[in-house]
């Protein structure tokens, strides 16, 4: 077996174990919050932010009004909105500050992370755990052969795509109609 085949097998096995450990009930609650919100804001840093940007884009294709915090056209957050925070540790400084501000404006906050006891729990209305390995060595973590937090970022993206597929199926959306929300200036 080639080095690529071994790496591919290992990565897919890690993602399978991790995604299989996410609570379906927590995901259903998240979907309910998204459906009842006027806008869905996203915040994270580094590679987590990149994964969240991809989720925001895909959900926008479904007709959900999504905003990535920091966009030049970012509107004001209100009590009708939700902020989704991606932070494995729940300790990232910028997402913590943004979550605090969102709460001041009456918005709900959902934390998607690995650490249910992190500082983010003070601001979170709901928590979805992606139980990946952290530097904290928490209980029930899925260990990873990959560098740093790659497994968390990969599973965050796939969780967002799984939710998109769940919404498509629940709403019986004709996939072809989604193209009306796709960028067309490219």
- Give, in order, the Cα–Cα distances in Å from 142 to each of 23, 36, 111, 124, 178: 14, 32, 19, 23, 35
Task: Report the run of H or E that residue 154 belongs to, with start and end.
Answer: helix 150-170
Calpha distance 15→6 (Å, rounded): 14
The Cα-based distances of 162 to 68, 166, 181 in angstroms read 19, 6, 19
Contacts of residue 38, defined as CB under 8 A and 6 or more positions apart, other chains included, come to 65, 78, 80, 81
- Asked if 28 is an active-site residue, the reply is no
Beta strands across the sheet bearing 108-113: 66-68, 40-43, 82-86, 108-113, 126-129
Task: Retrieve residue 168's tokens.
Answer: 């498509």
Catalytic residue among 79, 139, 153, 186: 153
- The dihedral over CA atoms of 133, 147, 22, 93, expressed in degrees to the nearest 10, equals 70
Catalytically annotated residues: 153
């Amino acid at each position: 077996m080639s080095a690529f085949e071994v790496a591919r097998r290992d990565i897919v096995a890690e993602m399978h174990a991790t995604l299989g450990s996410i609570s379906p009930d927590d995901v259903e609650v998240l979907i309910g919050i998204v459906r009842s919100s006027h806008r869905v804001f996203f915040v994270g840093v580094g590679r987590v932010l990149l994964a969240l940007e991809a989720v925001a884009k895909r959900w926008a294709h479904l007709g959900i009004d999504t905003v990535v915090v920091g966009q030049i056209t970012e509107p004001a957050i209100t009590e009708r909105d939700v902020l989704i925070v991606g932070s494995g540790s729940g300790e990232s400084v910028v997402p913590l500050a943004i979550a605090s501000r969102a709460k001041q404006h009456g918005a709900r906050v959902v934390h998607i992370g690995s650490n249910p006891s992190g500082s983010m729990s003070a601001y979170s209305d709901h928590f979805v755990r992606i139980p990946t390995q952290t530097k904290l060595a928490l209980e029930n973590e899925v260990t990873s052969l990959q560098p740093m937090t790659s497994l968390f970022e990969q599973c965050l993206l796939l969780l967002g795509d799984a939710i998109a597929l769940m919404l498509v199926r629940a709403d019986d959306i004709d996939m072809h109609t989604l193209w009306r929300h796709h960028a067309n200036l490219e």
